[in-house]
Structure 1
Amino acid sequence: MSIETMSETDPKKQTRADYKHSLKIPVRLGDVDIYQHVNNVVYYSYFDTLVNDYMIRFGGLDMVNDKVIGLVVETACRFHQSINFPETIDACLRTTKIGNSSVRHEIGLFREGETHPAATGHFVHVFVERGVQKPVPIPPQIRAALEKLLV
């Protein structure tokens, strides 16, 4: 693998331009742990906030009443820099794979003024029938919204 190829795939080298949607999320004082930085589990909360905010606003997801819901079946996060209170982060989103009933979201969390992400990660959602929890096709309105983020 050439050096150019390695840097293109290195998540630490990504920029906001590599993503198609962003949401500003303020860091809360309670997000910070004894080590004086945002605790690792809170990053997943930021991921969840970003993805669900997008699906509600642009895909028409109704988390309370929809018969089809998305369940997270896989997550990952890589930490590149610390995030602290009272920062506001730019949470950036793209879709990298859409199947019949599943979607892979990729996320970059950027500190204000920083070119490269403080953290990168992904979520995989599988859409299921509420209560039954058997995979079903992604609802058309949500699929259309996710396709707009596809890279």
Structure 2
Amino acid sequence: MNDVPEPKLDPKLELRGNYRHSLLIPTRLADIDVYQHVNNVVYYAYFDTLVNDYMIRFGGLDMVRDPVIGLLVESGCRFHQSLNYPETIEGCLRTVKIGTSSVRHEIALFREGQPHPAATGHFVHVFVERGPQKPAPIPPRIRAALEKLLV
């Protein structure tokens, strides 16, 4: 068990400028739940889209063929405002820790025109050999891309 407390992101202090990469993500009608807002599990899909889009486009990740893949081993989300349909949100990404085989991403989802995020969260990926799933060093091209987001 880890004795270091997890950092808590204060949405009032989080601004777009605190992040190094962004991606516009349109909400879909299918994202809406019975309460007429984006369902909480969909926020994780937005996080996944943001992180993987970045690693594919800028790190050359090939999810089908790469011998080393990143597995999501930890995630978290704090909800600050409801998102709805139709709207386009801005997913913002930064890297806060890179180890030999793991990386911690922090994410914020912003509504159009809003200075503070509707949600903040994190993903931790551990890179492993595809077959045996033993930890492996982060591939150099992906590491280089993630280092560009490091804060």
Structure 2 equivalent of residue 118 of structure 1: 118
Letter in 1 for 2:79: F
Gaps of 5+ in 1: 1-8
Gaps of 5+ in 2: 1-8
Is the contact between residue 59 and residue 145 of structure 1 (CA under 8 Å) also seen in structure 2? Answer: yes
Question: 1:57 aligns to what SS in structure 2?
Answer: helix
Letter in 2 for 1:118: A
Is the contact between residue 71 and residue 126 of structure 1 (CA under 8 Å) also seen in structure 2? Answer: yes
Letter in 1 for 2:145: A
Question: 1:11 aligns to what SS in structure 2?
Answer: coil
Distance 1:133 1:114 in 2: 41
Distance 2:117 2:86 in 1: 17
Letter in 1 for 2:10: D
Write the mapping of 1:1-151 to structure 2, written as runs, cut at 5 A: 10-151=10-151
RMSD over aligned Cα atoms: 1.1
What count of residue pairs does the alignment treat as equivalent? 144
Letter in 1 for 2:19: Y
Distance 1:137 1:12 in 2: 36
Please report the TM-score for the alignment, with normalisation by the length of structure 2.
0.93
Is the contact between residue 12 and residue 80 of structure 1 (CA under 8 Å) also seen in structure 2? Answer: no
Distance 2:12 2:80 in 1: 7
Distance 1:132 1:27 in 2: 37
Is the contact between residue 107 and residue 122 of structure 1 (CA under 8 Å) also seen in structure 2? Answer: yes
Structure 1 stretches of at least 4 aligned residues deviating more than 2 Å after TM superposition? none
Letter in 1 for 2:28: R
Going by fraction, where is helix more abundant, 1 or 2? Answer: 1
Question: 1:13 aligns to what SS in structure 2?
Answer: coil
Please report the TM-score for the alignment, with normalisation by the length of structure 1.
0.93
Equivalent pairs: percent with the same residue?
79
